[in-house]
Amino acid sequence: MFDRKPMIVKPSKSDMEITKEQMDNIPIWVRMVGLDVKYWGRTSLTKITGLIGKSLRTDAATTKRERLTYARVLVEVKLNHEYPTSIWFENEAGKIVEQKIHYEWKPVMCEKCRNYGHELNECPKFINEEHEKNEKKQELEMQEKIVQQNAGEGTQQGQTQIEKEEQQIQNQQGGYEQMERGRYYKQGYRTGKYARRGMIIPEEPLKIRNAFKTLEKQQNSEEESTSQTVGMFGLLETKVKRAKAQRAALNLCSGWSCSTNLSKHKGGRIWVLWKPMIFDVNIISVTEQLIQCEIQHRGNRMVFAVTIVYGFNDAALRKSLWEEIKKINEQMRGPWAVMGYFNCVLNREDMGSQVRMSEIRDFKNCVEECELQEMKSSGAFYTWNNKQRSEDRVYSRIDRVLINTEWIIILPNSEVHYRNEGTYDHSPAIIRWAENQKR
Phi-psi region of 380 (alpha: psi -120 to 50; beta: other; left: phi over 0): beta
* Residue 402 phi, psi (nearest 5): -110, 140
Instruction: Using alpha carbons, select from 389, 290, 381, 270 the residue that is nearest to residue 337.
Output: 290
Q: Give 384-425 pLDDT, tens digit per residue.
A: 666 666 666 666 777 889 999 999 888 888 888 887 766 666
Please give the pLDDT value at position 301. Answer: 86
Which of 405, 404, 398 shows the shortest CA–CA distance to 363? 398
- Which spans in 254-314 are helix H? none
Q: Per-residue pLDDT tens for 12-27?
A: 777 766 655 566 788 8
Least confident span in 49-58, 94-103, 184-193, 213-222? 184-193
pLDDT attached to residue 158: 42
| 399 in Cβ contact with 429 (< 8 Å) | yes
Collapsing DSSP states into helix, strand and coil, what is residue 214? helix
pLDDT confidence tier of residue 46, bands split at 50, 70 and 90: very high
pLDDT band at 56 (very low <50, low <70, confident <90, very high): very high
Position 106 pLDDT exceeds 50? yes
φ, ψ at 150 (rounded to 5°): -120, 25
Report the pLDDT value the prediction gives residue 26, as an integer from 0 to 100. 84
What confidence category does residue 193 fall into, taking pLDDT thresholds of 50, 70 and 90?
very low
High-pLDDT (> 90) share of the chain, %: 21
Torsion of CA 90, 95, 96, 101, to 10 degrees: -70
5-14, 159-168, 251-260, 343-352: least confident range = 159-168
pLDDT at 273: 85
Q: Residue 242: its pLDDT value, please?
A: 59
Dump pLDDT digits (tens) for 279-309: 899 999 999 999 999 999 888 888 999 999 9
Choice between 250 and 362, residue whose per-residue pLDDT is larger: 362
CA distance linking residue 255 with residue 204, whole number of Å: 18
Indicate whether 99 pLDDT > 80: yes
Q: Is the pTM of this model over 0.85?
A: no
Q: Note the pLDDT of residue 142.
A: 62
Q: What is the pLDDT averaged over residues 121-143?
A: 68
Residue range 301-340, pLDDT digits in tens: 889 999 999 889 898 999 999 999 999 999 898 999 999 8
**Gap between the Cα atoms of 37 and 29, Å rounded:** 18
pLDDT in tens, 263-277: 887 777 888 888 888
- Please give the mean pLDDT across all residues of the chain: 72
The reported pLDDT for the residue numbered 92 is: 87
Segment 203-216 shows an average pLDDT of: 34
